[in-house]
A and B are shown apart, each in its own frame.
Chain A
Amino acid sequence: MQDRSLARLLQTPAVVLLLIWMLVPLGMTLFFSFIRYVLTSLRRPEWTTPSLDNWRGLGNYQFVWNNDGFWLAIYNSVLMVGSILVLTVVLGLAIAVLINRAFPGRGIVRVLLISPFFVMPAVNAVLWINMILDPVLGLQGLAVAGMNEMIDGLRTFPLLGGFFSLWPDLEPISFRATQTSAYAVIMMVTWQWTPFAVLIFMTSLQSEDQQQKEAAILDGANAWSRFRNLTLPHLGRPIAIVIMIQAIFHLSLYAEIEIVSRGNGNKNLPYLIGEFASNNIGAASATGIYAVILANIIAIFLLRMVGKTLMD
Chain B
Amino acid sequence: MASLTLRDVAKAYGSTRVIESIDLDITDGEFVVFVGPSGCGKSTLLRMIAGLEEISGGDVSIGDTVVNEVAPAKRGVAMVFQTYALYPHMTVYNNMAFGLKQAKMPKDQIDKRVREAADILDIGPLLDRTPRALSGGQRQRVAIGRAIVREPEVFLFDEPLSNLDAALRVQTRLEIARLHERLGSTMIYVTHDQVEAMTLADKIVVLRGGDIEQVGSPMELYERPQNTFVAQFIGSPKMNFFNHSDLAQTAPPELRQVDEDTIIGIRSEHLSLCSAGEETLSATYELVEQLGEHALVHCTTSGGTEFIAKLDVPPQSGRDVPLYLRVSPDQVHLFNRETGLRK
Q: Which residues of A contact B (CB under 8 A)?
A: 209, 211-212, 214-222, 225, 229-230, 233-234, 236
Contact = CB atoms under 8 A, between A and B. Distances in A.
Interface of B: 50-52, 71-74, 77-79, 81-83, 85-90, 98-99, 102-103, 146, 150
A212 B99 CA distance: 13
A230 B50 contact: no
Contact of A233 (B52, B74, B81, B88): B88
Given A217-B52, A217-B72, 15 more contacts: A211-B81, A212-B88, A214-B52, A214-B81, A215-B146, A217-B73, A218-B72, A219-B102, A220-B71, A220-B102, A221-B73, A221-B102, A222-B102, A229-B89, A229-B90
Contact of A216 (B78, B82, B87, B103): B87
Contacts of A217: 51-52, 72-73
Contact of A218 (B79, B82, B90): B79
B23 to A, nearest CB: 25
Contacts of B72: 217-218
A214 B52 CA distance: 7
The 8 closest A-B pairs by CB, nearest first: A220-B73, A219-B99, A233-B89, A211-B85, A220-B102, A215-B85, A211-B81, A212-B85
25 contacts: A211-B82, A212-B86, A212-B88, A214-B52, A214-B81, A214-B85, A215-B81, A216-B87, A216-B98, A217-B72, A218-B52, A218-B73, A218-B78, A218-B99, A219-B98, A219-B146, A220-B102, A221-B73, A221-B99, A221-B102, A225-B102, A229-B87, A229-B98, A230-B87, A234-B88
Contacts of A216: 87, 98
B290 to A, nearest CB: 41
Contacts of A218: 50-52, 72-73, 77-79, 99
B278 to A, nearest CB: 56
Contacts of A233: 88-89
A221 B78 contact: no
A233 to B, nearest CB: 4
Where chain B touches its partner, the secondary structure class is: loop
Nearest to A217: B72
B210 to A, nearest CB: 21
Contacts of B88: 209, 212, 233-234
B83 A219 contact: no
A221 B98 contact: yes
Nearest to A213: B85
Contacts of B90: 229
A215 B99 CA distance: 9
Contacts of A209: 83, 85, 88
Contacts of A214: 50, 52, 79, 81, 85
A220 B146 CA distance: 13
A229 B89 CA distance: 8
Which of B82, B87, B88, B146 is the most central at the interface, judged by chain A CB atoms within 10 Å of its CB? B87
A211 B103 CA distance: 20
Nearest to B74: A220
Which of B51, B85, B150 is the most central at the interface, judged by chain A CB atoms within 10 Å of its CB? B85
Given A211-B81, A215-B79, A220 B99 contact: yes
A215 B150 CA distance: 12
A219 B73 contact: yes
Nearest to A230: B87
A209 B83 CA distance: 9
Which of A215, A222, A236 is the most central at the interface, judged by chain B CB atoms within 10 Å of its CB? A215
B144 to A, nearest CB: 12
Contacts of B51: 217-218
B130 to A, nearest CB: 8
A289 B311 CA distance: 86
Contacts of B87: 212, 215-216, 229-230
B305 to A, nearest CB: 44
Which of A218, A221, A222, A236 is the most central at the interface, judged by chain B CB atoms within 10 Å of its CB? A218
Contacts of A236: 89
B242 to A, nearest CB: 44
A220 B52 CA distance: 12
A230 B102 CA distance: 14
A8 B51 CA distance: 61
Contacts of A212: 85-88
A220 B99 CA distance: 6
Contacts of A215: 79, 81, 85-87, 146
Contacts of B85: 209, 211-212, 214-215
Contacts of B73: 217-221
Nearest to B77: A218
Contacts of A219: 73, 98-99, 102, 146, 150
A209 B81 CA distance: 12
A230 B150 CA distance: 20
Contacts of A220: 71, 73-74, 99, 102-103
A236 B89 CA distance: 10
Nearest to B103: A220
Contacts of B102: 219-222, 225
Nearest to A222: B102
Contacts of B98: 216, 219, 221, 229
A220 to B, nearest CB: 3
